Chain A
Amino acid sequence: MSEEKNHYILDVENLVVRYETEDGVVEALNGIDLKLEYKQTIGLVGETGAGKTTAALAIMRLVPDPPGVVECDKLMLDGRDILNLPASKMDEVRGKDISMIFQDPMTALNPVFTVGEQIAESLQLHEHLPEKAALEKAKDLLELVGISRERANEYPHQFSGGMKQRVVIAIALACNPKLLIADEPTTALDVTIQAQVLELMNELKEKYDTSIIMITHDLGIVAEVCDEVAVVYAGRIVEQGTLEDVFNRTMHPYTEGLFNSLPKIKNRQAMLKPIKGLMPDPTNLPKGCAFTPRCNYATEACLLGQPPLRHVSDTHAVRCVAYDQPGFHIERGRK
């Protein structure tokens, strides 16, 4: 048991989340296993509605209930079971052991408090620092994310988008969390600012040995900051592996489709090959593999049942029944 504790910062088994609404049951997450080693960054990639954010909220135990119903076999953070922690204890974990960077820095900050106060808040709460010391530390944190300490007394509206996101990062890092969940942290930012923020995150990761879950729809960002990738589709991980596994030895047809949908910088004449159709309705998921209606390789076998996660190497796993036939390979892998 203690060995395991040393191995994984986060260990999730069979995480299921559904939202029971008047219009039906939304099957947002349908059994996700996630093991994250210390100091590693994993990218959760997928499109709108795939369940990426729900996964993050479930790990933080922030899924609204009702309508949310969370079922999980195991939820361990740094060797500690947080699945059954009472709400008051969970408040101590959030912001201290796990923290989250939200997508939209414009709405994540409170407009009526100065940025210094907002950073200091979690220090006072979790580290029990007196107000003055907390403010002082907040200024150090501002400097760490590249904002001069004098600006601690300013309000969010006096900052630009990129600066606000830096403040949000400073808040998330204030108590030196063991696990940081970043939910599309650069989506609302311009490319040059995005580059600055990603650089900052990479720097801080080195400095503080933080483990990170990076939620994004952008495979380019994954290539830049992640060690591992999990591709999520309709609430399931369909392919998981190291960066090299997923980018250079792609196995799942959906992952291939994502790559083919992106315009190539080097070959601008190449016609885009979009994935046909749309994401399935999570209140009415197809039987069997949820990707079947959009998949170019689909056969009848795909509709029979949920494809199991097949481990092709120690690090690489794929959820696709086509690999039952020896010699099957998607086009991308063939080159």
Chain B
Amino acid sequence: MPENILEVRNLKKYFKTAHGLLHAVDDISFSLQQGKTLGLVGESGCGKSTTGRTILRLIEPTSGEIIFEGKDVNRLSKGEMRKVRKDMQMIFQDPFSSLDPKKTINQIISEPIRVNHILKNKHQIEERVLELMETVGLAERLINSYPHELDGGRRQRIGIARSLAVEPRLIVCDEPVSALDVSIQAQILNLLKELQTKMGLTYIFITHDLSVVNHFSDEIAVMYLGQIVEKAPAEELFENPLHPYTKALLSAIPIPDLNEKRARISLKGEITSPVNLPNECRFANRCFECTEICRREIPPLIEISPNHFVACFGVPGGKG
């Protein structure tokens, strides 16, 4: 059994707002093996990005443990954190706003190398930058270009090269292809997959696009209002979704195939506000299978079959 590179236990992140406590991430736990990909799926506002950022401690969690390679990330001092952060990197959604417009590609990719004192010699740094550019498929001649001269796909490649510069073991990819056209999206997804095989990278892949996550992940966790409502190996989740929300999400994907007609489960209403949540199933208001017990307490996340977890009172065996 390979060791878990990451374990998240009872992670919570609440934000204080003028209207009350905002439950962005509300008690989630999961673990992730080296070299695997966990897909975090959900709609805007479900807390998937906050989860990703909290794991990297870009946001301080309210409570909970994040064990990365045996160390509790939350207990590390600033100096120790700096070392650990080299091993955990992030690729951002928007390749237009996540690159400094005043820096050249060379400066952008070499910055983490210089800041972390990985290499000191100027020539070595430039060689490394060129090597990284080659790895992500950027032509050498672009080394002195600025981000605005490049298209979205190439910019995203810069973002990837920058995160690879410190040789991380875990990368949180926050909607890395959402801003890209389909033909470019496929190029970047293939690149990320290739890098994973080559370097044994572990990914947390955050997305709202279920067909992308299905293609990319080993395991998928579906989030709703700050909680994981279902988690299973990708194939199992798509073939045998149990939570009503997962079922609705899957049925809502428009499929570009005329021979495949599915029954659509349409959900009423929209995701409710995560501020001052009542003590009931978070999905109860929109659920088509909601019963009386769902209004009384929050269903726990229970293992229904090996590695398939679901939090729903309506699932047989899931009544706790």
Q: Is the CB of A243 within 8 A of B211?
A: no
> Given that A244-B258, A263-B211 are known contacts, is A191 also in contact with B182, CB under 8 Å in the complex?
no
- In whole angstroms, what is the CA distance A261 to B187 when docked? 8
B314 at the A interface (CB under 8 A): no
Taken residue by residue from 187 to 214, chain A's Cβ proximity to chain B (1 for < 8 Å, 0 otherwise) reads as 0001111111011000000000000000
Q: Is the CB of B252 within 8 A of A195?
A: yes
Q: Is the CB of A192 within 8 A of B252?
A: yes
Whose C-beta in chain A lies nearest to the C-beta of B212?
A263
Main SS of chain B's interface residues? helix
In the complex, what residues of A have CB within 8 A of residue B44's CB?
161, 190
Chain B: number of interface residues, binned into ranges: 35 or more
Q: Is the CB of A191 within 8 A of B189?
A: no
Q: Is the CB of B186 within 8 A of A273?
A: yes
B210 at the A interface (CB under 8 A): yes
Among residues 237 to 289 in chain A, which have CB atoms less than 8 Å away from a CB atom of chain B?
243-244, 247-248, 257-266, 268, 271-275, 278-279
A-B pairs with beta carbons under 8 Å apart, 22 shown = A160-B270, A161-B44, A190-B43, A191-B208, A191-B210, A191-B252, A191-B253, A195-B252, A195-B254, A195-B264, A196-B267, A218-B256, A220-B254, A222-B256, A247-B257, A247-B258, A257-B183, A263-B214, A265-B211, A265-B255, A274-B187, A279-B151
Among residues 185 to 238 in chain B, which have CB atoms less than 8 Å away from a CB atom of chain A?
185-187, 189-190, 208, 210-212, 214-216, 234-235, 238
A224 at the B interface (CB under 8 A): yes
- In whole angstroms, what is the CA distance A192 to B265 when docked? 9
B153 at the A interface (CB under 8 A): yes
Interface residue count on the A side (C-beta < 8 Å): 45
- In whole angstroms, what is the CA distance A47 to B180 when docked? 9
B67 at the A interface (CB under 8 A): no
Centre residue among A194, A261, A264 by max chain B CB count within 10 A = A261
| Contact among A163, A221, A261, A271 with B254 in the assembled complex (CB-CB below 8 Å) | A221
Contact count A vs B, C-beta below 8 Å: 120
- In whole angstroms, what is the CA distance A217 to B152 when docked? 16
B184 at the A interface (CB under 8 A): yes
Whose C-beta in chain A lies nearest to the C-beta of B210?
A191
In the complex, what residues of B have CB within 8 A of residue A95's CB?
none
| Contact among A191, A220, A264, A268 with B235 in the assembled complex (CB-CB below 8 Å) | A268
> Which residues of A are in contact with B by a Cβ distance under 8 Å?
47-48, 160-163, 190-196, 198-199, 217-224, 243-244, 247-248, 257-266, 268, 271-275, 278-279
Among residues 262 to 277 in chain B, which have CB atoms less than 8 Å away from a CB atom of chain A?
264, 266-267, 270-271
Q: Is the CB of A268 within 8 A of B234?
A: yes
B134 at the A interface (CB under 8 A): no
In the complex, what residues of A have CB within 8 A of residue B214's CB?
263, 265, 268
> Given that A192-B267, A259-B256 are known contacts, is A264 also in contact with B215, CB under 8 Å in the complex?
yes
Q: Is the CB of A243 within 8 A of B258?
A: yes
Task: Apart from A247-B256, A268-B235, list 6 A-B contacts with CB within 8 A.
Answer: A47-B183, A192-B266, A223-B255, A263-B186, A275-B186, A278-B151
In the complex, what residues of B have CB within 8 A of residue A224's CB?
254
Whose C-beta in chain B lies nearest to the C-beta of A220?
B254
